[in-house]
Amino acid sequence: MKPAIFLIAAGTLVLVAWLLPLVEWISSFLTWVDTHRAISWLVFIVAYVMLVVLLMPGSILTMAAGFLFGLPFGFAVISFASTLGASLAFLTGRYLLRDWVERRLAGLPRFAVLDRAVGERGVLIVLLTRLSPLFPFNLLNYALSLTRVRFFVFVLVSWIGMMPGTMLYVYLGSVAQDLTSLLGGELPQSEATTWLFYAGLVATAVLTVLIMRIATKALTTQLEAEAV
């Protein structure tokens, strides 16, 4: 019954996303957050955690945190929220939805050797999967819940491994004039600000891509070794 309830809830959310004006609602939510700074960070965290547990992308909220709270505090909010959401998804997959997660991952060969790899080199594999784009962030929380990795190892290593990507998205939001222009690909108008934007973006993106490429190569090697 528990997987069925979860699937019904997830399906309902997908239907709502198609039928209701979610863009306007998100815009209204972010406006409310901007005008209620004293408690908005807490509401922001709750909303982000819900997205993670329900397998919905949180990149928009990650950029919005940079725009609304600035780089240091926005990064702290998203880092905490994404780790908390990942932890709740992990516990949900391990103790409530194990059968559903197993069926969901059955047709994905990349996950087939993940358990063996984690069993041999738990900390390394969890870190590499977090740094590499080979594994979708939200689905990975549930996939790792089926492995032998310990919960506190999962939480600590996930928190560290998610930092580069979080920093990139929060930075993108922090330099935007407004969230709408950011999502539309518009840059600040000042020439000096534009150059600063490009320099910071390139530096952050290059570092993130380098980390991801190294992690992806190492992870592929590890998984191929386990598959032999």
Residues 103, 89: Cα–Cα separation, whole Å: 16
Query: What pLDDT is attached to residue 180?
Result: 65
Q: Is 162 helix (H, G, I), strand (E, B) or coil?
A: coil
What is the DSSP code (8-state) at residue 190?
A: S
Cα–Cα distances in Å, from 77 out to 23, 53, 129, 141? 22, 17, 22, 19
DSSP string, 183-227: HTT---SSHHHHHHHHHHHHHHHHHHHHHHHHHHHHHHHHHHHHH
Q: What is the pTM of this model?
A: 0.70
**Token couple for 88:** 């709740």
- pLDDT tens track, the chain, 228 positions: 444 544 454 455 555 545 555 556 666 777 777 777 777 788 889 989 998 998 887 888 888 888 888 889 999 999 999 999 999 999 999 888 888 887 877 766 666 666 666 766 777 778 877 877 667 788 889 988 888 888 999 999 999 989 988 888 888 888 876 666 655 555 555 454 455 556 555 655 654 565 567 656 766 776 666 665
Query: What pLDDT is attached to residue 174?
Result: 85
